[in-house]
A and B are shown apart, each in its own frame.
Chain A
Amino acid sequence: MKIMSSFLKIFTIMVFLFLYSPIIVMIIFSFNESKSLGVFTNFSLKWYEKVVTNPEVWRALYNSFWVGAVVTFVSIVLGLMMAMAVTRYSFSGKSILESLILIPIIIPEIAEALSLMIMYIFLNIPLGPVTVIIGHIAFSISYVTVVMRARMAGYDKSIEEAARTLGANELQTFFRITLPTLYPAILAAGLLAFTLSFDDLIKTLFTTGPGFKTLPLVIWSSAARGGVSPELNSLSSFALSISFIFALFRLRTERSVGR
């Protein structure tokens, strides 16, 4: 038992090492003077300076954020509607509907991206931010629905009923009771939708129009000449340390609140 435990512990630590070693290399070499990711020449902050003054990167970051925000909002609204319909009511064709919801999750992204592109061509829709957002939402809805439905499965309806008996109308009940209780589910689903949108390359590549680039697209094209630019590594290292601090901070506050 003891041996098993320590084996698991060592194994887990090794897995964490595996996960972090590329990240650590990325962070270390973001301070490298030369562009190489293999040989460290000199300590330098030049890539950080470069990224700060590179408008293309900031514009892309900004685009990624607002696209992600719109996608998250819309897919949460639509996904919540779907999840509520599926978990609360029984109706004919429900099982067909449930499989329909799953399809966007299980279809390989390359097939999805190409068919969406063909659709846009077919309808002569000019490509741009709107077409990118539509593409992202189309597959986020399903993820959001699935996550929410899982969390809503054990949802206790009696509080809602109590509120209704006490005279609250449907909307009041929804905004005062249902939504707050669903907050963790919405957070989880929203985080997933945002991450999927923020990190999407393939679909964005096929559906974007002139001048509209998200961060993954900038990374993709910066890599066009042998290796990604260290600027982006420095940006990423910076973002990573922020999220690291944020995560630890949140953890601490949560714990103190818990106490």
Chain B
Amino acid sequence: MDTLLKYIRRNVKVKVTLLLAPPLIFLAIWFYAPFMIVGLYSFDMINIYREITFTPSLTHYSKVLSWTGAAGIFLRSLYFAGVTVALCLLIGYPVAYYISFKVKKYKDLFIILFIIPFWVSFLLRTYAMMSILDERSIFNTILVSIGLINSPIKIMYTDAAVILVMVYDYLVMMVLPLYANLEKLDKSLLEAASTLGADPVKTFLKVTLPLSMPGIMAGFLLVFIPSVGEFVIPELVGGPNNYMVGNIIYEIFMGARHWWTGSALSMLFIAFILSLVIVYVRRVGERGLAI
């Protein structure tokens, strides 16, 4: 026993193996293996009776790639996710900046107040949001009755509703990494800049903004990835024009129950997201994902 411990203590390789084996084995079985199966389906290597066949084919990929509809929906998802990210950044950055730089006394309180709404179940939040966006909502009633607007604002079942709810649901994912990043900034740098005569706008553009890039990038990924694959929100608040990639994947897997095509679609989607992240990691380093 003692000698074994000593051996482990001395040998880094053994230590690393012991540390990594349990989590990696778990992930291998319950995360990577399922994707291998999806991969096998996508290459037509599993038949309807769930037997593995060794006759790979690319038919399902070529089918998916030839869909005219899929490309349009894919672009739409990118557009929705892009707008969502942009809005989250535009809304989230000033808030993170304000809390980090301007709030002196109750910083924690602000952050906690910011997080609390996100403790409500995401579904309940979304349903509550839907009740506000509704044509007959209390807000519309009030706005109409005080004469601010002539007729109720119609948002439900439009692009705007999908984006608004996504912004609402994912805003926290943008603000928290941004705030963490701004907090870590060396504020003496900013002071130095202003002592050297840079005006606030210049200081912000030349010092603060570049230094907060990792936070922005982290927020970007954390908002962009779930938004681009979102399918519950368009399902709940979207209209006929709000189908997204997540909805196609669902429709092919669950509605059409064609696992082969659905798998090919999933694999292509994952490949796209992965390549996006690889580009990102190359640029900022993995540490950029730290929350």
Interface residues of A (CB under 8 A from B): 1, 4-5, 8-9, 11-12, 15-16, 18-23, 25-26, 29, 37-40, 77-79, 81-82, 84-85, 89, 91, 97-100, 102-112, 114-116, 118-119, 121-122, 134-135, 137-139, 141-143, 145-147, 149-150, 153, 170, 192, 195, 199, 201-202, 215-216, 219-220, 223, 227-228, 232-233, 236, 239-240, 243-244, 247-248, 251, 254
Contact = CB atoms under 8 A, between A and B. Distances in A.
B26 A138 contact: yes
Contact of A20 (B31, B117, B232): B117
A91 B12 contact: yes
A118 B41 contact: yes
Interface of A is mostly: helix
A216 to B, nearest CB: 6
Interface stretch (B57-65, B68-76, B143-151, B262-270): B262-270
A236 B123 CA distance: 11
A227 B186 CA distance: 48
> Among A104, A110, A142, A192, which residue has the most Cβ atoms of chain B within 10 A?
A110
Nearest to B26: A78
Interface of B is mostly: helix
Contacts of B250: 110
B15 to A, nearest CB: 7
8 closest residue pairs by CB, A with B: A108-B229, A150-B290, A37-B131, A22-B128, A119-B34, A115-B34, A78-B23, A85-B19
B195 interface: no
Interface of B: 5, 9, 12-13, 15-16, 19-20, 22-24, 26-27, 30-35, 37-38, 41, 50, 91, 94-95, 97-99, 102, 108-109, 112-114, 116-125, 127-129, 131-132, 134, 136-139, 141, 168, 171, 200, 221, 225-226, 228-229, 231-232, 245-246, 249-250, 253-254, 259, 262, 266, 269-270, 273-274, 277-278, 281, 286-287, 289-291
Given A118-B38, A118-B41, A251-B108, A215 B128 contact: no
A22 B132 contact: yes
A236 B37 contact: no
B16 A91 contact: yes
B205 to A, nearest CB: 13
B14 to A, nearest CB: 11
> Among B35, B127, B229, B249, which residue has the most Cβ atoms of chain A within 10 A?
B127
A135 B254 CA distance: 19
Contacts of A247: 112, 116
Given A38-B134, A146-B289, A146-B291, A118 B37 contact: yes
A244 B137 contact: no
A215 B132 contact: no
A137 B289 contact: no
Contact of B91 (A15, A141, A142): A15
A82 B171 CA distance: 29
